A and B are shown apart, each in its own frame.
Chain A
Amino acid sequence: MLNRQVAPKLTPIKSIDFSVPEMVEIHPGIPLYWKNNIANETSKLELHFNAGTTIETPILASLSAGLLISGTKSKSAIQIQHALDAVGAYYDVSVSQEQAIVTLYALNSYLKQAFDIFHEAFTSVIFPEKEVQEICNERQEKLKVQLQKVNVLAQRKIQQVLFEETPYSQVISQSDYATVKRADLIAFHQKHYLKGLSKVFLVGDLSKEVMLEIKDACANFAGENLKPIKSEFTGKAHIFHEDKSDALQTAIRIGKIMFNKTHPDFISFSVMNTILGDYFGSRLMSNIREDKGYTYGIGSYMMENTHFGYFMIATEVAKEVREATIQEVKNELERLQTELVPAEELELVKSYLLGQLLKAADGPYAMLDLFSGVELHGMDISFYNKYIQKIQEITAEEIREMARKHLDWKSLSIISVG
């Protein structure tokens, strides 16, 4: 007879198989990583360029990324899009603070054709004036909508204060659009795209010849591949509130500059961060959503760049509980700093994190993303074995130490809008 009150026995995860993609060098210091044992006909090509928002200005980075296949002397944007559509390919560009990433998705039998279409359009793009105007109009309209959202306003503000006096603090304003000149976009493209390739990721069951052809074609975009310049952050904590009388909720962001994977505390801090706010059963969720009902969601995150990382707590709460929420966040941090995490909770989080890592390594696409996370820092896949080991070993005392050492309340900036 089934006794429903007794939980099934659990089997812990002891080790995970990580596989490393094949690497060929496009140019000294510029790798192409290839994962080719794919059991289906999907394929993906990712080109990473040193063309993020910090390299010059966010407006130039954002608009050039949006116009990479906007037309050549002989082909219009529409013709190029039709050509990509004809091979069933999807094209996407994303821009972060340090990188711009072009992604092509296609069935493996069409990937090379999609790449050739992209390659020609991208190499010979002339940034037609009409296309520039169109994208400016579209982006300005979208920005207007964004700037009405309290979460967007709070996010922009905390970015401005955490990274003040560095390129990382820059955000796009409406007035930036009037300053854009076609010649600047062309220059940006010349410098940061045509000579700005940093690496390539390829997934797909393709022939070696196709892979090598793509590699050779990418060599044209190789330049110096310089790492981002290291910024010095002030480390000052700011407290800022902007009232919006018509808002129904207040967005809160609490954060500070932190480290990335290269720091010896990174793994221990991540475990502490998970307990605090990085899973559904976290302390912030349990207290502020599941006990108080102040919010639909609250979480804490670690973000990483080449030379640093940052830590952030984010939520939207009922307007009248803004201060109560901030107080509860403070209480939760203090609890982590003064009390030891109970054994059961720590065990749960350890198992949870290992299960999530197993999932993150499941399948070629996921595995390549996982690899990309360490490759960025010049580390290798053995990081994840260390991660598993550290998670298995970490003690409640170490968790408390992480909270004490890195999350002093006075060191955190607190932004609220709404």
Chain B
Amino acid sequence: MIHFERFKLENGLTVLFHKEASTPMAVVNLLYDVGARDESEEKTGFAHLFEHLMFGGSVNIPDFDGPLQAAGGESNAFTSNDITNYYDVLPAHNLDTALWLESDRMLSLAFTDKSLEVQRNVVIEEFKQRYLNQPYGDVWLELRPLAYTKHPYKWATIGKEIKHIEDAKMSDVKAFFKKHYHPSNCILCVIGNFELDFVKDRVNHFFGSIPKAKKTSRILPLEPAQDRFKSKTIVRNVPADAFYYAFKMPERKHPGYYFADLLSDIMGREKVSKMYVDLIKKQKLVSEINAYITGSVDEGLFIITGKLNEGKSFAELDKEIWKILAHYKTTLISKKELEQIKIKLRTARAFQDQGLLNRAMNLSFFELLGDANGINEEQEIYQSIHAEDLRTFANHLFAKKNGVLLKVKKKKNA
């Protein structure tokens, strides 16, 4: 059980506080309700580029990282298709420094041309390093537009193409800030050995005077129901043929989300899953195979991915994959296996909760979904799932017209 307090400032900032008496450190986490899904299709990669600019100095403080490091702390951030999350970890007695820095960059950025120019280059190198200069690195740049036709999940957080980043203008940057970076679009979470009154006082001191702005409602293009199975083949300089089956799964708040998550754990289990045993051990069809979910806020993807062994064909694989999916549609998962997965989930969760930062990020994310207390209810939901739920769910999930397939074919003489 993770106890927390919640309060709201007049300007709309939501604040969560979780007391942890055993640590000399403090965590300050800010989740901004903006991600790549909020970009326009002509200017993708912007939420992430913007995350970089948030470290380029704010209106009253020329350098973000310097003062935090001088306080013995460290900071970083990440952007997803749904959110942009910033965090600071520092000695608890210097909490003010983190609140001072974060409040100033929420108030306004410095917006220097130099910062924009440099971060454009940095992000372009990141694009190359992570997506283009790696075998299979561009898979998600291909898979997203295959699976989504209208919804902005059809582009990756890094952006659709490098050109969008090259073309980013200062006026775009300013407009983006104004729209998304203000108190009512943010959830602040503080963890440390403090008292609630103290946290209220310090947060008010630094964030209280930031002007209120209206939270814009999000109207995203709805993804039309898929009506047929789609597949695409790309040829790349890779060492082995790889496959990515993606099935549309329910959004984060839907009960089906938990079914999908548990089912992916069962199907993706290393060494013992049916896919592993049948395709790796028995048939020697693939050299690796895995299943996982994207875990997005809106309708997500259930992925089955792996690599073919030399001399095996996509057609052979396809036949076997559908056999396995048919198995989950018709056969109940044994009680024993379900129990195993559930206790593994309990272990994993206990270890995750060890980390202060993890707790802060999770509390903030559940608050975004509607209630931070969701963090305390999740285990019960998983533990109450029955084999029948999963079988019923598999029938919806693995309907053929609900899926897409991306094949990455090895270039000849590669």
Binding site for B on A (CB under 8 A): 2, 4-5, 7-11, 13, 16, 39-42, 77-78, 81-82, 85-90, 105-107, 110, 130, 134, 137-138, 141-142, 144-145, 147-150, 246-249, 279-281, 289-296, 316-318, 347-349, 351-352, 354-356, 358-359, 362-363, 365, 418
Contacts and interface: CB of A to CB of B under 8 A. Distances in A.
B354 A363 contact: yes
Interface in B9-37: 22-25
Contacts, number: 201
Contact of B354 (A42, A78, A144, A352): A42
Contact of A281 (B66, B100, B118, B309): B66
A293 B121 contact: yes
Nearest to B354: A42
Contacts of B156: none
B94 A85 contact: no
A105 B272 contact: no
B347 A106 contact: yes
Contacts of A11: 91, 93-94
B347 A90 contact: yes
Given A13-B91, A150-B133, 13 more contacts: A4-B60, A4-B103, A7-B100, A11-B91, A40-B350, A88-B344, A110-B347, A130-B281, A281-B66, A293-B118, A351-B71, A356-B74, A362-B25
Contacts of B100: 4, 7-8
13 contacts: A8-B100, A40-B350, A42-B350, A81-B272, A85-B340, A89-B347, A106-B347, A147-B239, A149-B134, A150-B133, A279-B69, A293-B120, A347-B70
B287 A352 contact: no
Interface in B22-74: 22-25, 59-61, 65-67, 69-74
B133 A352 contact: no
9 closest Cβ contacts across the A-B interface?
A355-B72, A293-B121, A88-B343, A144-B239, A8-B96, A141-B287, A4-B60, A296-B126, A85-B340
B339 to A, nearest CB: 7
A203 B265 CA distance: 27
Interface string B99-137: 010011001000000000111111101101110111110
Contacts of A292: 118, 121
A144 B74 CA distance: 36
A290 B353 contact: no
B352 to A, nearest CB: 10
A8 B104 CA distance: 13
Contact of B288 (A78, A138, A249, A296): A138
B125 A318 contact: yes
Contacts of A87: 343
B125 A141 contact: no
A358 B205 CA distance: 27
A358 B72 contact: yes
Contacts of A294: 121, 125
A77 B309 CA distance: 21
B119 A78 contact: no
B277 A78 contact: yes
A280 B73 contact: no
B199 to A, nearest CB: 15
B272 A82 contact: yes
B348 A82 contact: no
Given A78-B277, A82-B340, A358-B25, A2 B206 contact: yes
A352 B119 contact: no
Given A2-B206, A352-B69, A362-B23, A296 B122 contact: yes
Given A90-B347, A290-B118, A359-B89, A2 B272 contact: no
Contact of B69 (A89, A150, A248, A280): A280
A362 B24 contact: yes
Residue from A10, A85, A281, A355 whose CB has the most chain B CB atoms within 10 Å: A355
Contacts of A42: 347, 350-351, 354
B301 interface: no
B237 interface: yes
Residue from A145, A296, A317 whose CB has the most chain B CB atoms within 10 Å: A296
Interface string B242-279: 00000000000000000000000000011110000100
B117 A7 contact: no
B70 A141 contact: no
Given A4-B60, A86-B339, A137 B287 contact: yes
Interface in B76-108: 76, 89-91, 93-94, 96-97, 100, 103-104, 107
Interface in B118-174: 118-123, 125-126, 128-130, 132-136
A351 B69 contact: yes
Interface in B337-371: 339-341, 343-344, 346-348, 350-351, 353-354
